[in-house]
Amino acid sequence: MDLPVLLITNGVLLPEARLKVPIRTKTNLAMLDRFVLNKVGSAKTLILVAYRIEEEKKTFETGTIALIEQVVCWSYNSHVQYTLHLLGVSRARIESFALPIASVKQLYTVPGDLNDEIKVEFLRNLKDFLTYLTFESIESAITLKKLLEEKNFDALADFSVAQLREVSFSTMLDYLATLDTSRRVLLANEWIKECIKSQSDPNEQLKRDHHKELVKLGTLIPANDLAKLRDKAQNVVRKYGSRVKSGNSVEALEGKLRDAQLPDGIRDRVWEEYDRLKGMNNQQSEYNVLLNYLDLVAALPWGKSTPDHIDISKARQVLDVTHDGMDKVKKRVLEFLAVRKLTDHATGPILCFSGPPGIGKTSIAKAIAKSLGRKFERMSLGGIRDESDIRGHRRTYVAAMSGRIIQALKHAGTNNPVILLDEVDKLYAGVSGSPSAALLEVLDPEQNNSFVDHYLNLPFDLSNVIFIATANDLSQVEAPLLDRMEVIEMSGYSHREKLHIAQNHLLPRQLDKNGICPDHLIVNPDAILHMIESYTMEAGVRQLERQLGAVCRHGALKLAEALNTDIAADVIPELHLPIVIDRTAVEHILGIAKFERLNLVKKLGRFKPGMVFGLSVSVLGGKVMPIEATTNPGKGKVQTTGKLGDVLKESIEVAKTWIRANSGRLSCSSLTDIDAHVHIPEGAVKKDGPSAGCAIVSALYSLAANRCVRSDTAVTGEISLTGHVLPVGGIKEKVLGAHRAGIRRVILPESNRADASELDDTIKAEMQIIFVETIDELLNVIMEKESGIKVLSKL
């Protein structure tokens, strides 16, 4: 039989007995995770308890097959702990071991030669032992009483021995391995006798006598009346002055509370709670709740803060060393720091970095904390839909916890950390309140000096904390929240910028992570560019870092193989250092290019009438959006496909009407005797927004005039019925998206000229950017051959 293994180094579980085993080692945790926690009805699983003898560095050959009766999970100081409640089922011999599984054979006991004299003596001793046990554990006493009635000597020996604490681990293991029942009864009888003798101390005797009188176990008390028994037993304990064994944690707590620098307003309230705790019995259910609460209060950094060292030139250095480019963002961050230095004001604007993933929003926030010398805490808000995640649960709830803000402060250990509210756009309002409403209070400098977490129920001053937020999509951030923040928009990187980031930051980091000396592995710039163009399609650099990691791991394997002297000489690969990674090596390591140089121009070749490249932007950055239109005989209807939203459909109507109204002047069909069909591929993705207007009017004109649009050009811009091209958002991302796709000519609305001027110089140098004010101008520059349309006067 194969069973999951729980390996323990002290305590022995005998059949019939129960044992509580806290899970502390990684092996046991892995076993629990794999075989118990992931299983529906995880309790009632059979496992093997195996015993490790540390001195001999071996595992005892006999183990115990056990039934998991209960898995208790509790969290203390944010550590999750598991304890297994086990019931011994039978002995087993371990035949083979491959942690976390062992192949075992169940062992059966043999009766042996047990004489009547010993039996009678053993039963008499057990009756005395029962009295002692009543005082120690009522449940065990009841089980022993039942076994005594059954006169099952095998079980009586095991169960009674399991109750003894004095027997050493190794003696207990020998006992476990003894299959002869008569031999075990002899041993048990001896040990029980000794135990009873050692209990003959007059004080202990007095307690037991009194207890005997009180509970009269065996005649009066029914087995199921445990609660009553427990109460009575506790009364005895109190009467005889046994101290509640809670001294250690409560006394330690007192010291911690004294060191906690509690503010004046709350000190008395906390000590009142502490006095209440001291007066409680540790068996009371509220005891642990209050203990955990006061532990949190003591652990919070009420008066601890890190001194600010704002040195602007050092901050500039930190930002430059950690981040390439991003000049605008760095400038704004330095201004922010400068204002903090001069005003000495705790409150200031809350910065919100917005942009596609992997462009360094989180890492720049980390750099701010570093340049201020403050602690950094990241709070991921993605998917939070409950107010209590931010503000905590009220203490009256079972398993109540403090909110994330308080947890972050506890973790930081100072009351002035930089807290990054990551992904504020992914907060959702759930059934139990809106988390963004809770964040409003946190971020409001007027209110946050007395932030009250529901669990803590004491005001905590958050005014020294610097909050920085990040978002991928600002349109998803609730307006009141957005209003409290100063948004710094960050855009994706060009290929050249990515190359610099890779050379200066990502590659050195990956080399270091994989334990490779930079002199031993060189990745050519050409190879990095190949990875950027053909193996990643992203605005940021996260995928690129992953690919560089793969290349470094390949190098690490080569180096490790060459160093490994255990490998037979003929298989040691010959290694010439440094290992140089070029384009071919990249293809060999990373396999077939995932984004075969997405040069749409080359791929699609010459367009047919009705085809055009639009530009779109999503949370992942800018992208080229091919648009197709075709005609059929009909009555001037326009059909649309490709999961288009209402605004996009309306743009198509505007384009159609404009062409119809201007067809005479443009010498093209008015599209009244034909039906047009406009399709935007990637049909599963919803598309919307007015910015495809220019592309759609170009496609419809191309159909109406039966002329082709230039396939090396992409366009974005909204159109009006009067023929004007209106500004749109996301210009930088869209141009970068076109550049990534291999397009070098883009047409943008004239009103977006200022946005385009913010583009990186290398991009500006490589791209031809044409600005247009009217649809006439647009058609003149977008068609394959000059349309020669006479541009009407502009409004």
Return the active site residues. Answer: 691, 734
Q: What is the DSSP letter of 692?
A: G
Among 332, 341, 542, 608, binds ligand ATP (CB under 6 A): 542
- Cβ–Cβ < 8 Å for 660, 700: no
Least distance to ligand ATP, CB of residue 339, Å: 24
Among 291, 326, 586, 748, binds ligand ATP (CB under 6 A): 326
Cα gap 233→344, rounded to integer Å? 63
- Cβ–Cβ < 8 Å for 191, 125: no
Cα gap 728→651, rounded to integer Å? 13
Burial of 446 (0-12, 13-18, 19+ CB in 10 A): exposed
Residue type, 638: V
Task: Tell me if the bond preceding 100 is cis, omega within 30° of 0.
Answer: yes
Assess 362 for contact with ligand ATP (CB under 6 A).
yes
Which residue, 471 or 638, has its beta carbon nearer to ligand ATP? 471
Residues 683-722, interacting with ligand ATP (CB under 6 A): none
x/- mask, ligand ATP, residues 296-325, rule CB under 6 A, reads ---------------------------xxx
Q: Is 555 annotated as a binding residue?
A: no
Burial profile 342-361: b = 16 or more Cβ within 10 angstroms, e = fewer: eeeeeeeebbbbbbbbbbbb
Q: Is 360 annotated as a binding residue?
A: yes
Tell me the window of 129-137, 523-531, 541-549, 675-683 that interacts with ligand ATP (CB under 6 A).
Answer: 541-549
Which residue, 543 or 639, has its beta carbon nearer to ligand ATP? 543
Number of residues that bind ligand ATP (CB under 6 A): 20
Least distance to ligand ATP, CB of residue 688, Å: 23
Which residue, 303 or 525, has its beta carbon nearer to ligand ATP? 525
Least distance to ligand ATP, CB of residue 544, Å: 8
Residues 545-564, interacting with ligand ATP (CB under 6 A): 545
Q: Is 358 annotated as a binding residue?
A: yes
Assess 359 for contact with ligand ATP (CB under 6 A).
yes
Of 595, 585, 672, 588, which Cα lies nearest the Cα of 634?
Answer: 672
Tell me the window of 538-546, 587-595, 656-664, 778-786 that interacts with ligand ATP (CB under 6 A).
Answer: 538-546
Tell me the window of 238-246, 454-462, 540-548, 647-655 that interacts with ligand ATP (CB under 6 A).
Answer: 540-548
Q: Is 255 annotated as a binding residue?
A: no
Q: In the chain, how long is the greatest CA-to-CA distance?
A: 124
The H-or-E segment that residue 452 falls in is strand 451-452
Q: Is 362 annotated as a binding residue?
A: yes
Assess 218 for contact with ligand ATP (CB under 6 A).
no
Of 706, 707, 694, 628, which Cα lies nearest the Cα of 658?
Answer: 694
Which residues are registered as beta bridge partners of 18?
Answer: 87
Burial of 433 (0-12, 13-18, 19+ CB in 10 A): middle
Residues 409-428, interacting with ligand ATP (CB under 6 A): 422
Residue 767, SS3 per DSSP: coil
Tell me the window of 43-51, 285-293, 357-365, 528-536 that interacts with ligand ATP (CB under 6 A).
Answer: 357-365
Q: Is 466 annotated as a binding residue?
A: no
Which residue, 344 or 761, has its beta carbon nearer to ligand ATP? 761
Residues 493-522, interacting with ligand ATP (CB under 6 A): 501, 505
Q: Which residue has the tokens 């001053």?
A: 461
Task: Tell me if the bond preceding 578 is cis, omega within 30° of 0.
Answer: yes
| Beta strand segments in 570-716, E | 579-581, 611-618, 621-633, 638-641, 674-679, 713-715
Assess 621 for contact with ligand ATP (CB under 6 A).
no
Cα gap 716→693, rounded to integer Å? 7
Least distance to ligand ATP, CB of residue 345, Å: 27
Least distance to ligand ATP, CB of residue 242, Å: 56
Least distance to ligand ATP, CB of residue 516, Å: 18
Residue 44, SS3 per DSSP: coil
Among 4, 15, 360, 749, binds ligand ATP (CB under 6 A): 360
Assess 232 for contact with ligand ATP (CB under 6 A).
no
Which residues are registered as beta bridge partners of 49?
Answer: 6, 64
Q: Which residue has the tokens 């595992």?
A: 59
Assess 361 for contact with ligand ATP (CB under 6 A).
yes
Q: What are phi and psi of 535, to 5 degrees?
A: -115, -5
Which residue, 95 or 758, has its beta carbon nearer to ligand ATP? 758
Q: Cα dist. 9→48, 83, 177 in Å?
A: 14, 15, 16
Least distance to ligand ATP, CB of residue 525, Å: 16
Least distance to ligand ATP, CB of residue 170, Å: 53
Q: Is 47 annotated as a binding residue?
A: no
Assess 472 for contact with ligand ATP (CB under 6 A).
yes
Q: Is 112 annotated as a binding residue?
A: no
Cα gap 769→745, rounded to integer Å? 6
Cα gap 396→189, rounded to integer Å? 50
Cα gap 110→335, rounded to integer Å? 84
Binding-site positions read: 355-362
Name the residues that contact ligand ATP, by CB under 6 A: 323-326, 357-363, 422, 470, 472, 501, 505, 540-542, 545
Name the binding residues for ATP: 355-362
